[in-house]
Amino acid sequence: MIALIQRVTSAKVTVKDSDFISRIDKGLLILVGIHQQDNDNDISYIVNKLQTLKFFEGNGRYFAKSIKEEEVKLMVVSQFTLYGELNRGTKPSFTKAMAPSQAEYIYNAFCDKLKKEGFSIETGVFGAHMLVESINDGPVSFILSSDHLKDEH
């Protein structure tokens, strides 16, 4: 699993050709890519790291407060293109991305685990064509991956 994490002053998701709109003010926009081998271990790893990482300023220091300490909202958006490979040819390859029918379950389980940990989250619509707007604060962006948990055999 890859989580592209952006600290934002605001983020908004609109589903193209729909009335669906989701938005947050100060918080994190988390774009989630799901690998074909992802499972509950990947979900737990990413959620546990998100809880403890320091993304926000505090006491005059950068990166001093976690999302729990700052009590911010999270915007979680599925983005299979994070597992797109661009090394060969002229079109991206998505062979490492999980099939949508399975990835939706992992995405929903990830969102549910965040909620169970007490986080306030907003989401996009899985598999929909979305328009994502954000104002990156800093800019601060990080990539958190659970790929190192996979068996390399």
State yes or no: is 20 an active-site residue: no
Do the beta carbons of residue 29 and residue 75 sit within 8 Å? yes
pLDDT in tens, the chain (153 residues): 999 999 999 999 999 988 989 999 999 999 999 999 999 999 999 999 999 999 999 989 999 999 999 999 999 999 999 999 999 999 999 999 999 999 999 999 999 999 999 999 999 999 999 999 999 999 999 999 999 998 654
Of the candidates 44, 27, 19, 61, which has an alpha carbon nearest to the alpha carbon of residue 109?
A: 44
Element (H, E) at 70: helix 67-70
State yes or no: is 126 an active-site residue: no
Of the residues 63, 81, 102, 142, only one is catalytic, namely: 81
State yes or no: is 90 an active-site residue: no
Of the residues 6, 14, 79, 123, only one is catalytic, namely: 79
**Sign of the torsion angle spanned by Cα atoms 126, 128, 82, 36:** positive
Domains in the chain: ranges and CATH: 2-146 (3.50.80.10)
Which pTM does this prediction carry? 0.94
